[in-house]
Structure 1
Amino acid sequence: MPAWKSAFLIHGDDHGRVAERRARLREMAESESGSGGVEVFEGDASTPESIGLALNAMTFAVGRRFLIVDGVERWKDADVKKHLQATLADMPPETTVAFFGRDEGRAKVPPPLLAAVKAAGGQIATETMLKGKELPRWAIGEARRLGVDLDPDAARLLIELVGERQQRLLRELEKLALEHGAGTVLGLEEVQAVAAPSAEQQVWGFVDALVARNGRRAVRAYLELRAQGESVGRLIPLMARRIREIETISARLEAGESPAQIKAAIRMPPWMADRRIKEARGTDLESLRSAVILLADLEVGSRGLSELSDDTATLRAIVAIAA
C-alpha cells in the first residue's frame, strides 16, 4: 500500500497529465477504501468553504477517507484563507485531500493553497508542458523508453502532425511502438503513416503529384478528395503554398546558393527543406512562376469572380501546371 500524505496538490499547464494523475489517484484510493471512502468535489461543489466543511464533518467510514478536489485554479486567495487554511493545518486523522488545478492564463492555483499544503507536510507536484524546442529530444527519449528509436526528423514531423501536447504525442509513440515492435528505427514514412489522418495523407499525396507533374495522378487524387467533401477553398491555398515554396528555393538555386545556405535561410525543418530542394531541382523556375500566377488567378476565381465552376477551373489549372 502507498504511504498516503494528508494532502496533495497536483497542478500545471499540462492538463492531460494533470487529468491522468487525478484518475490514477482516484483508482488507488478506491482500491484501498472502496468507492464509499472516496468523495469527489468538482464544478460548483468545489469551493474552499465546502471542502473545509467536509474535512470537519464527522464520518463513520472505515479506513482512510479520501477527498478529491478539482478546479482549484478558480479559487480566490481570501476564500482559501478564510475557510481552509486552519483546517489544513490540523487535518483529521486517516484523511487525505488531493487538490487538482489546471493552470491556464490568469487561472492559477492560489498561493495561499500552495502554502497551506506545504505547511501541512503535503506533496506538491507541477506538471508543466515542455517548450516546443525541447519536445523532439523528449519524444526521442520516450520512444527509446518504449523500445524503439525515433529519427530526429521523424520526431519533428510527429510534433508537426500531432501538436505539442505531450500526452497526445506519447499515445502516438505507443501506437508506433506496438505496430513496429522493439528495436525498430522509426523514420518519416512510419510516423506519417500512423500519425497523420488519412484525409491529410491524401491531400499531401495530391500536392506531391501536382509538384511531380504527374497530371493523371493529380487529377485522380483531386477528384477523390472532392468526392469525400474536401473543399476547393482549402485545396487551392495548399497547392499555392507548396508551389511558392519551391519557386523560392528554385530562384535561390539559380542564383548560385548552396543547399546549406538555402536551409539556413528558410523556415522549415531540415528534412522538409531537403525534400523541397529536390523538388525544385526537378522542375524549372519559369514554369514555377507561371504556376504561381495561375494559382493566384484560380484563388480569385474560387471567390466567385470567375464564370467557370470551381472544379472546372481547378482541374484546368492542375492539368496546366502538370503539363
Structure 2
Amino acid sequence: MKLRPEQLDAHLREPLQPVYVLTGDEPLLLQEASDALRRAASTQGYGERERHGVERGFDWNDLLAGCQSLSLFAERKLLELRFSGKPDASAAEALITLAARPPEDTVLVITLPKLDGAAQKAKWLTALDAAGVIVTFYPVDAAALPGWLQTRARQLGLRLQPDAQQLLAERTEGNLLAAAQTLEKLRLLHDGGDIDIEAVAAMVSDSARYSVFDLADAVLLGDAPRVARLILGLEAEGQAESVVLWALQKDLRGLTLAAEQMHSQGLRSPSPQLLGQLGFWAKRQGPAQQALRRLPLARLQRMSSGLIDIDKAIKGQSPERAWDALLRLSMAMAGRPLFTA
C-alpha cells in the first residue's frame, strides 16, 4: 500500500502494519518519518528496538534466522534496516523472504535512498508493497520551499515576514535540514513572534571568512577584484566546488530567464515582480538589474551552455582545474572575462 507523506501521521494513529518502506533523497523528511514511526511503535507496545545499517556483505542469514526463531517471552519489536544504496541480489532475496513471512510481533522499517525506475518495478519492492506500506519522500522544490518554511515556522510559533521568508528560502534551498535548524534557532532566540529579515540574515550568515553568498553578491555587482579574492579565499578554506557552482548557477539561471523575457517582450528592464519570481529578493534586485545591463542575452546563454564543462571539471572528467573553471565563470558574470570569446 502506498501512502503520501502527508497521510502518514493519520495512518500512524491506527494499528501498525508489519512492514514500512521509507524512501527518498531528503534526509530530514526521512528522519522525521522514522522518528514518527518509532513514537507510534512505542505507544502501541513495541518496547524493543533493533537497528541495522545495511552495507555490501551484510549477513542476511543471521538476520533471517533471528526473525524466524520465536520466543514465548519476546517483547514486541521495532526492527529497522537502513540501506545506504540500492539492495543487491542477496538483499533483494532476503527482502522478498521477509515480505512473504514478516516476523511475528515485529514492525519492520526499511529506509532506502531514492529508487530509480528499475528498482520501483523490482520484485522485492512489489513484495514489500503487498506486505505493508511504502512512503516516498520528494525534495521540496524552490517554488514550494517558501510555503514549507512558513508552515514549519507557524508550527514553532514563529511568523516569518515575507522578505525574511524569501531570504531563508534562498539561503537554504536544497538543504531542508539547514532550514529546519535555522528555524529552531530562531525560535530559541526570539521566543515566538515576528521574524524580520535582519534576524534571518544574522542567523544564516556564514561563519567562515569567505561566503558563497558574498561571492554571488559581488558577481551581481560586477566587483571583479572582490570576486577574484573571494574565489581564492573559498578555495583556501576548502569550500566544496559544487556549492560554489550552485550559488553561481542559481543566479545565472535567473538572469538568463529574465533576459529572455526582456528580449521576447521588448523590455529594457525586468519588473520587480519578475525578478522576485526568479529568486532575486528585494535587496538583490538592484544588483541583478546592474548585471542585466552589463550582460547581453547572448553572453548569458553562452555562459549557461558552459556550465556542463565546469561540472565535468568538478567531477574530474575534464583536464581543467575546477577552481580555475569557477574563477573563469564568476569573472565572466562580473563583466571581466579572463579570455575574450
Does the CA contact (< 8 Å) of 2:96 and 2:124 recur in 1?
A: yes
Structure 1 residues 46 and 202, CA gap change in structure 2 (3 angstroms): closer
Is structure 2 residue 190 aligned with structure 1 residue 180? yes
Is structure 2 residue 77 aligned with structure 1 residue 68? no
Q: Letter of the aligned partner of 1:274 in structure 2?
A: Q
From 167, 170, 187, the equivalent of 1:157 is 167
Structure 1 residues 261 and 164, CA gap change in structure 2 (3 angstroms): closer
Equivalent position of 1:196 in the other structure: 205
Does the CA contact (< 8 Å) of 2:99 and 2:128 recur in 1?
A: yes
The CA distance in 1 between the partners of 2:141 and 2:277, in whole Å, is 22
The secondary structure found in structure 2 opposite 1:74 is coil
Number of aligned residue pairs: give it: 256
The one-character-per-residue Cα deviations of 1:208-262 (angstroms, maximum 9, x if unpaired) are: 8xx7x9xxxx99xx9xx98xx779xx9xxx9xx9xxx9xxx9xx9xxx9466289
Q: CA deviation at 1:135?
A: 1.0
Q: What runs of 5+ residues in structure 1 fail to find an aligned partner?
A: 287-323
User: Which stretch shows the higher mean deviation, 174-183 or 51-60?
Assistant: 51-60
Structure 1 residues 108 and 139, CA gap change in structure 2 (3 angstroms): farther
From 103, 106, 114, the equivalent of 2:114 is 103
Q: CA deviation at 1:144?
A: 2.3
Q: Letter of the aligned partner of 1:97 in structure 2?
A: L
Q: CA deviation at 1:64?
A: 0.8
Q: Letter of the aligned partner of 1:178 in structure 2?
A: L
Structure 1 residues 162 and 131, CA gap change in structure 2 (3 angstroms): closer
Structure 1 residues 115 and 52, CA gap change in structure 2 (3 angstroms): farther
The CA distance in 1 between the partners of 2:47 and 2:272, in whole Å, is 64
Query: Could you state the TM-score of these two structures normalised by the residue count of structure 1?
Result: 0.58
Does the CA contact (< 8 Å) of 1:135 and 1:164 recur in 2?
A: no
Q: CA deviation at 1:269?
A: 0.9
The CA distance in 1 between the partners of 2:162 and 2:97, in whole Å, is 51
Using the aligned pairs only, state the percent identity: 21
Structure 1 residues 70 and 109, CA gap change in structure 2 (3 angstroms): farther
The CA distance in 1 between the partners of 2:187 and 2:275, in whole Å, is 33
The one-character-per-residue Cα deviations of 1:265-301 (angstroms, maximum 9, x if unpaired) are: 9965141443437989xxxx99xxxxxxxxxxxxxxx
Q: Letter of the aligned partner of 1:117 in structure 2?
A: L
Equivalent position of 1:5 in the other structure: 17
Equivalent position of 1:269 in the other structure: 280
Q: CA deviation at 1:101?
A: 0.6
Is structure 2 residue 105 aligned with structure 1 residue 90? no
Q: CA deviation at 1:103?
A: 1.3
RMSD: 5.0
The secondary structure found in structure 1 opposite 2:271 is helix
Does the CA contact (< 8 Å) of 1:10 and 1:100 recur in 2?
A: yes
Q: What runs of 5+ residues in structure 2 fail to find an aligned partner?
A: 1-11, 242-247, 295-341
Equivalent position of 1:21 in the other structure: 33
Q: Which residues in structure 2 correspond to 1:31-42 (within 5 Å)?
A: 32=45, 38-42=50-54
The CA distance in 1 between the partners of 2:35 and 2:270, in whole Å, is 50
Structure 1 residues 147 and 107, CA gap change in structure 2 (3 angstroms): farther
Q: Which residues in structure 2 correspond to 1:1-323 (within 5 Å)?
A: 3-22=15-34, 25=37, 32=45, 38-44=50-56, 46=58, 51-59=63-71, 61-71=73-83, 73-76=85-88, 80=92, 82-103=93-114, 111-120=122-131, 122-187=132-197, 189-198=198-207, 199-200=209-210, 204=214, 257=268, 260=271, 269-276=280-287
Does the CA contact (< 8 Å) of 2:78 and 2:108 recur in 1?
A: yes
The CA distance in 2 between the partners of 1:203 and 1:269, in whole Å, is 13
Does the CA contact (< 8 Å) of 2:21 and 2:111 recur in 1?
A: yes
The secondary structure found in structure 2 opposite 1:98 is strand
The one-character-per-residue Cα deviations of 1:69-91 (angstroms, maximum 9, x if unpaired) are: 111742146853x4443542333
Q: Letter of the aligned partner of 2:204 in structure 1?
A: A
The CA distance in 2 between the partners of 1:177 and 1:265, in whole Å, is 27
The one-character-per-residue Cα deviations of 1:160-213 (angstroms, maximum 9, x if unpaired) are: 3233222221111121232223221432x22111012133579849x88xx7x9
Structure with the higher helix share, 1 or 2:
1
Larger Rg: 1 or 2?
A: 1
The secondary structure found in structure 2 opposite 1:137 is helix
The CA distance in 2 between the partners of 1:185 and 1:167, in whole Å, is 19
The CA distance in 2 between the partners of 1:102 and 1:79, in whole Å, is 15
